[in-house]
Chains A and B, each alone.
Chain A
Amino acid sequence: MNKENPKLSQLSDEELIQRFQEGDLYAFDLIVHRYKDALFNFTYRYLGSSQEAEDVVQETFLRIFRNRFAYRQIAKFSTWIYTIAGNLAKTELRKRKRRRLVYTSDLGYDEKEFEIVDSRADTERDVDSMLTEKEIQEAINKLPERFRKVILLVDVQELSYEEVSKIMRVPLGTVKSRVNRARLKLQGLLQDIFDAQR
């Protein structure tokens, strides 16, 4: 059973961070509890590695703790925390490129491969059969960084265009056009991957 304090658990993110700024450490616990899964999923898709994603999310919460007074309630808390996690993930990605490391299991598909099965899926794989999680992640990994982040925030994390605009600090129109271009690019990559396997 979850032992969340009913009063604290009903508070909004912004109220929680305010309580945390006032010294209520349980409020920080709740922030961790609310965001760790979402942030991990975002960074995991962004980096393609569960270990790196976990490190980034850990560092995100450490920074939230350390810089809690830097948050002002003029912005949504989710915008702030996604901005921090996104920047750290971006730094991690650049570090990886510099190191030019080749991991033995780069994509980190520790979990079972998930198949997104079409209802009309047949034994013979055709255009309308299925795309696996691995194929989609492979295509995401090939996206340029500016496309990758925006498509994950909008289509995977399902944040609003307005929120993504604030996280990425670009105009709303830019977000919309970038999302469209990212989807088209991803579509092309998926078609290439699909065709290569036929």
Chain B
Amino acid sequence: MKSCDRIAQDAFRYYEGSLSQEEHAVITRHLEQCPTCANAYAWARRTREGLHKLPRHSPSANFDMVLHAQMRHAGYEHRSFWPLTMPAWIWQVPAYGAAALLLIGAGVLIDRQLEAPATLPATAQITRMDKLATALPAAETVQTTSRSSRELAGSGMIPLASRQTTRTSKGELTAAPSESAITAPSSHSKVPQLAATQAPMKRYVMQKIPMQSLLRQNRRAIGNQQTLLEQLAFDTMLVHRQNGGSRTLPGIRAVNASVQF
């Protein structure tokens, strides 16, 4: 008669049927009589079945693309992986993803370029203007404000005290002078016109035009803003991960491992 310890040792072999007939029969009889060994065998069976039924995982969709890129980077002469082993349309999936990201990135950059006021943040400039106004005598305030408005308008901004937003017949938002600005000398009448270029918070949408054309037309506005595109890719991945997404996204590849998603 085998001991319980010995039977526990042979539980997996018993399950696999790799024991001799005699050993198998001995363990079968023992399991019928010994609840402890029966429980141990149940766990052995469960462990074995659990391993067997583990789902098979596959690499990400852009695995071939990344491998291909790494091989090119390593200097191996190799053409595309896809024509032979993959459906022809597979390669387009990451390509469209990358194109969409670039399109969004370019849109963000253009948006920032067009909305960027001057060298300082708007709040800082306004604060500086307010301090300038309060430091001057009351009688000069209006004139100073107007003069400052003209100077500031030339540099692409207007003072807070003389800015008033109105909506034109076309529905566009423009800036109009306040009462204090109206009381200023007529020589300062250019202020509202110049201020009108400072329509606050205009929204921009992307037109459906080819990516290459978009980049070419806006090359001057975009300039060399690779870091912003990388930031966009980083942010996209961050949001994706926070939403419980996978570690990879088509068109985005980690270029260093300083941050683990």
Contact = CB atoms under 8 A, between A and B. Distances in A.
SS class of chain B's interface: helix, strand, loop or mixed?
helix
B12 A183 contact: yes
Nearest to A189: B47
B43 A191 contact: yes
B43 A37 contact: no
Interface string B249-261: 0000000000011
Given A3-B86, A104-B260, A127-B39, A41 B81 contact: no
Contact of B57 (A1, A44, A131): A44
A50 B12 contact: no
B47 to A, nearest CB: 4
Contact of B59 (A26, A37, A105, A118): A37
Nearest to B60: A54
B96 interface: no
Interface stretch (B67-75, B138-146, B175-183, B192-200): B67-75
B55 A114 contact: yes
Given A54-B59, A114-B55, A156-B54, A187 B84 contact: no
Contacts of A15: none
A41 B260 contact: no
Contacts of B66: 54, 58
Contacts of B63: 36, 40, 54, 57-58
Contacts of B86: 2-3, 33
Contacts of B76: 65-66
23 contacts: A3-B85, A3-B86, A3-B88, A4-B85, A28-B78, A37-B56, A40-B57, A40-B63, A51-B261, A54-B59, A54-B63, A54-B248, A104-B261, A111-B246, A116-B49, A131-B46, A155-B52, A156-B51, A183-B47, A184-B8, A187-B43, A190-B47, A190-B50
Interface centre among A28, A54, A104, A187 (most CB of B within 10 A): A187
Nearest to B88: A3
A155 B81 contact: no
A2 B83 CA distance: 9
A41 B56 contact: yes
Interface of B: 8-9, 11-13, 39, 42-44, 46-60, 63-64, 66-67, 70-71, 74, 76, 78-79, 81, 83-88, 245-248, 260-261
Given A2-B87, A51-B261, A155-B48, 8 more contacts: A25-B78, A36-B59, A58-B66, A58-B67, A101-B260, A110-B246, A127-B46, A183-B47
A18 to B, nearest CB: 17
Nearest to B66: A58
SS class of chain A's interface: helix, strand, loop or mixed?
helix
Interface residues of A, number: 54
Given A4-B85, A136-B51, A25 B43 contact: no
Contacts, number: 136
Interface centre among B11, B245, B247 (most CB of A within 10 A): B247
A138 B62 CA distance: 27
Contacts of A33: 85-86
- 7 residue pairs, one from A and one from B, having the closest CB atoms: A33-B85, A155-B51, A110-B246, A40-B59, A187-B47, A131-B50, A114-B55
A151 interface: yes
Contacts of B59: 36-37, 40, 50, 53-54, 57
Contact of A133 (B54, B71, B246): B54
Contact of B84 (A30, A40, A62, A184): A30
Given A151-B51, A183-B47, A65 B85 contact: no
Contacts of B13: 180
A183 B44 contact: yes
Nearest to A65: B76
Contacts of A25: 78-79
Contacts of A65: 71, 76, 78
B2 to A, nearest CB: 16
A173 interface: no
